[in-house]
Amino acid sequence: MNPTATLATAHRRRLREVWRSAGWPCQDLIEIDLLAAGLLERVRSPQGHETLRVTDAGVLLLAETLQRNRARRDAHELLVERVAREMARAGRIAWRGLSLRAKVGEAWAMAMPDVFSIRHTTVEAYLHPVVHEIKVHRSDLLSDLRSAAKRAAYLQLSSECWYVIREGIAAPEEIPPECGVLVASEGALDVARPAPKRAMAMPFGLWMALARATPIVGEMGADQMMLGDRPEDDAAGSTSP
């Protein structure tokens, strides 16, 4: 049996911590597992001090974990870019990686939507801010769905909140009904369930966050709406990239 097969995220995190540190032992159960798996070894100095050293097998596991994490981030970032470009192509102003504050109940929460967009208009009532949260792995999606406060923050910041999920990682029914669902396949973004639309006036703090951030450079098409025009349909749930 592969001794690393049962290692949890906490074990890999501890292995990285030992790699970056002087290797002082904690003498806990995680350390015992790593020593038993041959990923750590004990080293005794001439003065009798015992430290830990990451073995060659541990370095290999760290490298494999790094490559896997990079692949996960790359897939996520590619879909984020795709959705942001779709919003811009549809005539919206889109941002990626914003850090926003939202009032949830009596407390403030930080929200970092993958894509945030507004209509390209000079009429405040027509802005229709939209949040898109991107998920390409089921484990990430399930972890996100357990955070009701995070979802509440997104709803406070937008007129519509969408989950964009890679095809096959979940059924639309698993997403809470207050959010829309877009399914990303190889060639399209298909609406599995529309997002409920809510009236929302953008607070001053959100305006300031947008003013400090840089939107993506969109494609200026001939069909882009004129500033101040009221669109016939919203582009947040567009079904083709």
**pLDDT at res. 219:** 54
Q: Is the pLDDT of residue 202 over 60?
A: yes
Residue 65 pLDDT level (bands cut at 50, 70, 90): confident
Q: Is the pLDDT of residue 223 over 70?
A: no
| Residue 102 and residue 156 in contact, taking contact as beta carbons nearer than 8 Å | yes
The angle subtended at Cα 139 by Cα 138 and Cα 142, nearest 5°, is: 85
Give the domain ranges of the chain.
9-54, 75-212
Instruction: For residues 171-192, give the mean pLDDT.
Output: 96
Summarised one tens digit per residue, pLDDT across range 77-107 is: 999 999 999 999 999 999 998 999 998 888 9
Residue 221 pLDDT level (bands cut at 50, 70, 90): very low
Q: How far is CA 101 from CA 2, 97, 157, 173, 230, in A?
A: 45, 13, 9, 29, 28
pTM attached to this predicted model: 0.69
Which CATH architecture is the domain 75-212 placed in?
Answer: 3-Layer(aba) Sandwich (3.40)
Q: Is the pLDDT of residue 35 over 90?
A: yes
Summarised one tens digit per residue, pLDDT across range 126-151 is: 999 999 999 999 999 999 999 999 99
Residue 241 pLDDT level (bands cut at 50, 70, 90): very low
Q: Is the pLDDT of residue 204 over 70?
A: yes
Q: Is the pLDDT of residue 227 over 50?
A: no
Instruction: For residues 156-179, give the mean pLDDT.
Output: 97
Alpha helices in 90-226 (DSSP H): 138-145, 148-156, 204-212
C-beta pairs of 206-209 under 8 Å, 24+ apart in sequence: 206/100, 206/129, 206/157, 209/98, 209/99, 209/100, 209/101
